[in-house]
A and B are shown apart, each in its own frame.
Chain A
C-alpha cells in the first residue's frame, strides 16, 4: 500500500513544513492567523509572548470573546485565544530586557522565519530590523504584516480590522444604497492579512530552496485588501467611473432598481439574485437564490409550482427580470416564506438552481451536513479549557496533514523545551530568568506547571 492509501483520514498525512522553525512575535489576529496556518501545516511555530499585566500579550490571552461564561478568566482559558493559536509552542521572553532580547536573538539564529505584525518601526526600535536579523541568521525569512506596510508616507498608520477594511475600500462594498456602509461583521482583513503572511513565508521558503537566499517580505493588510476591488479600480482608471454613485452598493442584488444600470463588480448582472425570507421567520431564516440564465429561471418557476405570475413575458429574459426586480423579488419571497431554508435550498438545487441557506455560526456547527462530512471541525483537549471544538484547514492534500492537532499552548509551556532543549540554557540559567524579569514578569504569579523550573538554582530548589 502507498502511504496515501494507508492514511487513517483524508486529513492526516506528512507535515508539509516539517523542519521549518518560525519565531512568531505576532499578536491579536492577523499574525497569529498566519502562523496558525503554518503550524497546522507542520512548521514548528514558537510563539514569543510577554504576559506582564497590561501588556498586549496578556490582554490577548484575556480576551473575553469566546470564553464560557462560567469560567473565571485567566491566561489559559480563552477559547478564542486557543482557537487562533493551535499547533504552536509558547515561550515567554521580555524583549525590553537585554537578557530576554539576547535569548530571542539566539532563538532567531537557529530558526528559518521571523514573523510579526507590529506597527512599522517597532522592530527597528528593538534593533531587530531586517539588516540586524540577517546578521543573526544570514538566510532568514522575515515577514512583516502591518497596516500600510513599512514604506510609503503613511507607514505609521495603525489599524484594527474594521478600520483597515475602511481604508482598503472593502467596507464601502458592503451595504444597501442610501444607507451607511454595512461593512464586514468580522476582521476580514486580519484573516486575509494572516493568509498572505503564510503565503509569503512559504513562497519565500521555495525561493530560498532554489537560491539559498532569504529575504524580507513587507506586507500591507490594507494593500492586500485594495487589490480585491480590482475591477472597480479599473473601471475608475480605464473608464473614469466613480464608485460613489447612486445605487451602489446594490445590497445582495447585482443592480438596484430605479438607478443607472452600471456594473456591481461581483460578477454577471442577474436577476433573481437576492436573499429571501424563509419560514419560520427567525433572525437567520433567509435563503440566497440566483438564476444564472433563463433556463435556471424556468427551473425555479417549476420549483415554485409554475405560478401564473412567473409566466408573464416580462420575466422570461434576464433583462426583463432585472427591470422588474421589485415585483420579481416580492413574488419569490411570498413563496420562500412558506418553506424552511434548508428544504428550500434542497428543492432549488434538485432542479439545478443555485440556492443556499444563510447559515449562522450555530448552523454551520450543528446543521451543515457538508462541513460535518468533510471533518471541518475537530475536538481537542486543553488543560485550561477542557475538550472543545476547533477548525481545520479548508482543504485536503493527498500527501499532507491539514487538521489541527494541538490546542493552544499554555503560557510559557515550552520555556524549558525551547530555552534548555534548543538553546542549551542550563536549568539554573532558566531558573534565573524567572527571577530577573527576562523570562517571567516580576509582577505576575508563576503558573503552577512552571514552579519547578522557576525554582531551579534558587535555594528553594534543593
Chain B
C-alpha cells in the first residue's frame, strides 16, 4: 500500500468560492496537495454558518471547516500586479488550477486559460461556473437555490398534490447544486489527468453547474424525449408523469418516517415472511391465512395487503421497520437525520469518521468521511481547514521567494 491517496503526486491551486470548494476538498481527500488562494482577509465562505459555539469568526465556520479540510491556504490580492505574478508562479508549479471566477475575469487579469496554459501546456485549467464560458445565460447571477430551480431539481421535488395542494416545488437543502457541479468538475479533472498521463497534454475544462444539475435528474429528460410528458412531484418518491405511483413513506411509532417501497408483485413467500413478523406485534390481520399461499389470491389482494402493512408502521419505530425489512430482504430505509447517522455503528466499523485535530483550539472533532475505501491508496483528511493565510509564508518560501520578497509583497498589500 502506498501512503497517500491516488492523486498524492499532484498539486492543485484552488481559486474557488462556494461553487467549487467541495471539488477542492475531494481532491485533497484523494491525496493531492491543494493550495487554496483567498483574498486578503479570507474567503467569503468563512462568513457562512454554522459556527463553533455559534460565534461568528473567519476561523470558526463549520461550513468552511467541512469544505476546506486537507487544504493549505494563502492570501493573495491577485488584482494587484505583484499578486498576479505570484499566482502565475504558483500555478506554474501545479498540475491543476481550479477556478470559479466569472467568465472572462481572470483573462482580463492576464490569468486566463490561454495565458497560463501557454506557459505550461501540461496544466489542467478547470473553470467551474454557473452556466459555462459562453451562451446567453453566461453572466447570470445565481445561488444554490436559483441553480436548483433552473436545473430541474425543484420541478421534481415536493408533495403529492392531493396531500398538499399549495406546496411549492421544493429545493432540497445542503448546497447540492454546488455539490453536483463539483462532482462533475472532479469527473472532468480526473479524465484530464488520465488523458495527460497518456498524451502529455493538459487542457482547459469548461464545466457548467447548470448542465451538471440538468443531467442529474435521472429519467426526467429521457421521459420527455421519449413520451413528451412533464413529470409531476410526489412526496418522498420519484416524480413521474403517470400519477400517482404507490406511496412509499410512512410515519412510524417514534415520529420518524420509513421509506418502504412495496414490490408490485409481492410473492406468497414474502407475504408469509411479513405476516409472521407483523404477528409478533399482533398486526398480521388475516395475512397468515392459508389462502395467501396462492399467488393469484396475493395478486388480487394487493390493496388489502398494503393496508395491513400501513397499519403496522405505527407499531414499530422507523429503525425497527428498517432493520426488520432488511433482515427479510426488502430494501427499506429509515429516513434518518444526522443524529441517527452519527449513532449508527456501521460507519464506525467502516472507518468512515475521521477525528480531525484542531491544534489552535486544543481539541479534535469528528468529521465525515472516508467516502471510498481504496485498497492501495487510502483516502485521508490530513489536516483541518486552514486558518486565514496560515500557509502564506510556507508556500511562498516553497516557490523560492526569500524573506525580503515576502516582506515587500506584504508591504504592498498583495498578501
- Can you add 12 more A-B contacts, CB < 8 Å, to A199-B187, A237-B365, A263-B50? A18-B198, A151-B373, A166-B258, A192-B183, A196-B372, A205-B197, A211-B376, A233-B368, A252-B170, A284-B155, A286-B149, A288-B149
Q: Given A223-B369, A267-B144 in contact, is the A231-B135 Cβ separation under 8 Å?
A: no
Q: Given A231-B66, A288-B148 in contact, is the A182-B170 Cβ separation under 8 Å?
A: yes
- Number of residues in B with C-beta < 8 Å to the partner? 154
Give 1 or 0 for each of B232-271: 1 = CB within 8 Å of chain A CB.
Answer: 1111111110000000110100000111110000000000
A274 vs B188: C-alpha distance in the bound complex, in angstroms? 32
Q: Given A195-B184, A275-B168 in contact, is the A243-B337 Cβ separation under 8 Å?
A: yes
Whether the pair B232, A231 counts as a contact (CB closer than 8 A) is: no
* Segment from B223-231, B302-310, B391-399 that makes contact with A: B223-231
* Segment from B84-92, B278-286, B325-333 that makes contact with A: B325-333
Does A292 sit at the interface, judged by CB under 8 A? yes
A163 vs B250: C-alpha distance in the bound complex, in angstroms? 12
Whether the pair B372, A219 counts as a contact (CB closer than 8 A) is: yes
Whether the pair B365, A266 counts as a contact (CB closer than 8 A) is: no
CB distance from B365 to the nearest CB of A (A): 5
In the bound complex, residues from chain A placing their C-beta under 8 Å from that of B212 are 394-395
Give 1 or 0 for each of A445-456: 1 = CB within 8 Å of chain B CB.
Answer: 000000000000
Whether the pair B336, A371 counts as a contact (CB closer than 8 A) is: no
What are 5 of the A-B contact pairs (CB < 8 Å)? A14-B195, A181-B335, A195-B184, A229-B338, A267-B63
Whether the pair B140, A242 counts as a contact (CB closer than 8 A) is: no
Whether the pair A252, B171 counts as a contact (CB closer than 8 A) is: yes
Of all A-B residue pairs in the complex, the 8 with the closest CB atoms, nearest first, are A163-B333, A185-B156, A394-B211, A230-B66, A174-B172, A185-B239, A215-B376, A202-B190
The answer, among A175, A182, A218, A373, for a CB contact under 8 Å with B136, is: A373
Q: Given A162-B248, A284-B155, A288-B171 in contact, is the A397-B339 Cβ separation under 8 Å?
A: no
Within 8 A of B (CB), among A64-89: 65-69, 79-80, 82-84
Q: Given A203-B30, A230-B66 in contact, is the A360-B155 Cβ separation under 8 Å?
A: yes
In the bound complex, residues from chain A placing their C-beta under 8 Å from that of B232 are 283
Does B12 sit at the interface, judged by CB under 8 A? no
Whether the pair A160, B226 counts as a contact (CB closer than 8 A) is: no
Does A121 sit at the interface, judged by CB under 8 A? no
* Segment from A97-105, A362-370, A418-426, A428-436 that makes contact with B: A362-370
Does B287 sit at the interface, judged by CB under 8 A? no
Within 8 A of B (CB), among A254-302: 262-269, 273-275, 277, 283-284, 286-290, 292
* Segment from A44-52, A303-311, A313-321, A385-393 that makes contact with B: A385-393
Whether the pair A356, B140 counts as a contact (CB closer than 8 A) is: yes
In the bound complex, residues from chain A placing their C-beta under 8 Å from that of B334 are 166-167
Does A149 sit at the interface, judged by CB under 8 A? yes
Whether the pair B141, A353 counts as a contact (CB closer than 8 A) is: yes
Q: Given A187-B238, A354-B141 in contact, is the A251-B170 Cβ separation under 8 Å?
A: yes
In the bound complex, residues from chain A placing their C-beta under 8 Å from that of B374 are 200, 203-204, 207, 215-217
Whether the pair B211, A218 counts as a contact (CB closer than 8 A) is: no
CB distance from A189 to the nearest CB of B (A): 10
The answer, among B205, B236, B326, for a CB contact under 8 Å with A397, is: B205
In the bound complex, residues from chain A placing their C-beta under 8 Å from that of B179 are 228
CB distance from A139 to the nearest CB of B (A): 10
Whether the pair A130, B375 counts as a contact (CB closer than 8 A) is: yes
Whether the pair A358, B170 counts as a contact (CB closer than 8 A) is: no
CB distance from A145 to the nearest CB of B (A): 10
Q: Can you name the residue of chain A whose Cβ is closest to the Cβ of B181? A: A394
Whether the pair B350, A231 counts as a contact (CB closer than 8 A) is: no
CB distance from B385 to the nearest CB of A (A): 11
Give 1 or 0 for each of B198-229: 1 = CB within 8 Å of chain A CB.
Answer: 11011111111011101111111111111110
Q: Can you name the residue of chain B whose Cβ is closest to the Cβ of A203? A: B6
Does A322 sit at the interface, judged by CB under 8 A? no
Does B382 sit at the interface, judged by CB under 8 A? no
A242 vs B52: C-alpha distance in the bound complex, in angstroms? 14
Does B146 sit at the interface, judged by CB under 8 A? yes
CB distance from A370 to the nearest CB of B (A): 4
Q: Can you name the residue of chain B whose Cβ is closest to the Cβ of A192? A: B183
In the bound complex, residues from chain B placing their C-beta under 8 Å from that of A207 are 2, 6-7, 374, 376-377
Whether the pair B332, A163 counts as a contact (CB closer than 8 A) is: yes
A368 vs B140: C-alpha distance in the bound complex, in angstroms? 14
Does B277 sit at the interface, judged by CB under 8 A? no
Does B97 sit at the interface, judged by CB under 8 A? no
Whether the pair B198, A355 counts as a contact (CB closer than 8 A) is: no
Whether the pair B154, A288 counts as a contact (CB closer than 8 A) is: yes
Does B119 sit at the interface, judged by CB under 8 A? no
Whether the pair A175, B219 counts as a contact (CB closer than 8 A) is: no
In the bound complex, residues from chain B placing their C-beta under 8 Å from that of A362 are 224, 228, 230
| Residue of B170, B186, B206, B215 with highest tally of chain A CB at under 10 A | B170
Does B49 sit at the interface, judged by CB under 8 A? yes
Does A191 sit at the interface, judged by CB under 8 A? yes
Whether the pair A395, B261 counts as a contact (CB closer than 8 A) is: no
Within 8 A of B (CB), among A155-175: 155-175
Does B289 sit at the interface, judged by CB under 8 A? no
Give 1 or 0 for each of B134-177: 1 = CB within 8 Å of chain A CB.
Answer: 11111011111111111111111111000010011111111110
In the bound complex, residues from chain B placing their C-beta under 8 Å from that of A409 are none
Does B274 sit at the interface, judged by CB under 8 A? no
CB distance from A112 to the nearest CB of B (A): 11
Whether the pair A395, B211 counts as a contact (CB closer than 8 A) is: yes
* Segment from B103-111, B293-301, B341-349 that makes contact with A: B341-349
In the bound complex, residues from chain A placing their C-beta under 8 Å from that of B257 are 166, 180-181
Whether the pair B227, A68 counts as a contact (CB closer than 8 A) is: yes
Whether the pair A151, B259 counts as a contact (CB closer than 8 A) is: no
Does A122 sit at the interface, judged by CB under 8 A? no
Whether the pair A273, B145 counts as a contact (CB closer than 8 A) is: yes
Q: Given A151-B350, A169-B337, A394-B207 in contact, is the A249-B190 Cβ separation under 8 Å?
A: no
In the bound complex, residues from chain B placing their C-beta under 8 Å from that of A244 are 337, 339
Does A179 sit at the interface, judged by CB under 8 A? yes
CB distance from B208 to the nearest CB of A (A): 6
| Residue of B131, B147, B210, B341 with highest tally of chain A CB at under 10 A | B341
The answer, among A164, A273, A400, for a CB contact under 8 Å with B333, is: A164
A37 vs B220: C-alpha distance in the bound complex, in angstroms? 18
The answer, among B138, B218, B373, for a CB contact under 8 Å with A191, is: B218
CB distance from B382 to the nearest CB of A (A): 16
Whether the pair A395, B226 counts as a contact (CB closer than 8 A) is: no
The answer, among B18, B197, B238, for a CB contact under 8 Å with A162, is: B238
Does B311 sit at the interface, judged by CB under 8 A? no
